[in-house]
Amino acid sequence: MVNSFQIFGKNNESLAVIYLKRQGYRIMEQNYRTRMGEIDIIAKDNETIAFIEVKSRSSATFGNPKYAVTLQKQRKISKVALQYLKSTHQSHVRARFDVVAIFSNSGQDSIELIKNAFELTGR
């Protein structure tokens, strides 16, 4: 059963895809899952593969969504990204981690794209 938080998240991921396409990104994967975790969007920005985390909020109660990608989340995304690059034989390709932060309140959407939001994180 899908709850309202999941619907909100999926709607904002769709909004992020539309926004990224308008910015010239070419979407390669959505909701890429492995046993290690998930990456919301994998896209090409020119010759660079961007691993994109989408964070959204409907109020300011919990702060700006761009600050919600914790170190633990960065580590998980990094591991999944490395696995993706290896499994698709693209370990030689330039890659980076972006965040799309969406503040959605009363039908008004504010979208911010943070390129190179964090570095590859181990441990």
- Residue 4's pLDDT is 61
Residue 123 counted as domain residue? no
Instruction: Write the DSSP assignment of 47-64 as a string of letters.
Output: TEEEEEEEEEESSSTT--
Domain with 96, as residue range(s), is: 4-118
What is the pTM (predicted TM-score) of this model? 0.88
CATH number of the domain at 111, please. 3.40.1350.10
| 103 and 110 Cβ atoms separated by less than 8 Å | yes
Q: Which residues of the chain have pLDDT under 70?
A: 1-9, 58-64, 106-107, 122-123
Q: Which two tokens stand for residue 32?
A: 């890429």
Give the total number of structural domains in the chain: 1
